[in-house]
Amino acid sequence: MTRSNRIHKPFKARFALLSICAAAVLFMVHCSGADAPVFVQEPLPYPQDALAPFISADTMRLHHEAHYGGYVKKANQLAKGGRFGGNGPEDLIRAMAGDPGRKALFNNAAQAWNHGFFFKCLKPEGGGAPQGILAERINASFGSFARFKNAFLSAADAHFGSGWVWLVQDGENLAVMTTADADTPIAHGLVPLLAVDIWEHAYYLDYQNRRGDYVRSVLDYLVNWDFVAGKLKNTQESGAGN
């Protein structure tokens, strides 16, 4: 007996409805991917009071929740609808750098990235001198850890206005640099290893105008050298510093 090629009408109706629903789901997934937040506010890797007495819980609360959270929120608002869903934060920052029409997006995106990186550069009972390959590379680039420390403190002291002081990998060498306002080494083809925020919101509640004392406290007691060494290792393994 020959099988009929006819499809029962109720079945055809259900099949059409399922097809419409499937198309709608695919559309929503596509749209949500395009408008998905590029930046995520990462939680602190330690309690807000863990860095006291060198950085107080009040400063960390204000810094992480109000400033960092505000940059993340604004960056995502400005990026929404810009078809950045397939790009990571670093790609977006590099693409926006130097574009006058995207300055607001760059500023908020770079500040969001810088802050997320900075908080990971700190830990309770940190600081002091690094060990291993990182110590060897610092000695090779600066002559000694003491010279690196002096260069870092001098750079922070000499920087006018708000910004950041960094240890970066620049080709085969390590270097100290500062960036103004929201600028970041990744916008200049450099690899950040260590960041210290020298905007006033990072230290004014605890140190008032004594920026140098704040940066010295970070180096002496708070730097997470394991994180810095991990960034250096990743850079070497990926060949990003070549």
Reading the block at residue 182, the tokens are: 């929201």
What's domain 57-120's architecture? Orthogonal Bundle (1.10)
Query: Is residue 28 very low, low, confident or very high in pLDDT (cuts 50, 70, 90)?
Result: very low
8 A C-beta contact, residue 161 and residue 181: yes
Reading the block at residue 193, the tokens are: 């290893």
Q: What is the pLDDT of residue 237?
A: 82
**Would the pLDDT of 225 be above 50?**
yes
CA distance 56 to 50: 8
Reading the block at residue 86, the tokens are: 């397939």
CA distance 176 to 101: 30
Q: What is the pLDDT of residue 37?
A: 81
CA distance 107 to 184: 10
Q: What is the mean pLDDT of the chain?
A: 86
**Would the pLDDT of 2 be above 60?**
no
Residue 176 pairs in a beta bridge with 167
Reading the block at residue 211, the tokens are: 């920026």
Q: Where in the chain is the domain with CATH 1.10.287.990?
A: 57-120
What's domain 132-238's architecture? 3-Layer(bab) Sandwich (3.55)
The residue among 236 and 169 whose pLDDT is bigger is 169
Mean pLDDT in residue range 111-119: 98
Closest CA to 196 of 210, 209, 177: 177
Non-local (6+) Cβ contacts of 204 within 8 A are none
What Å distances lie between residue 39 and 33, 56, 92, 114, 175, CA to CA?
13, 26, 10, 12, 28
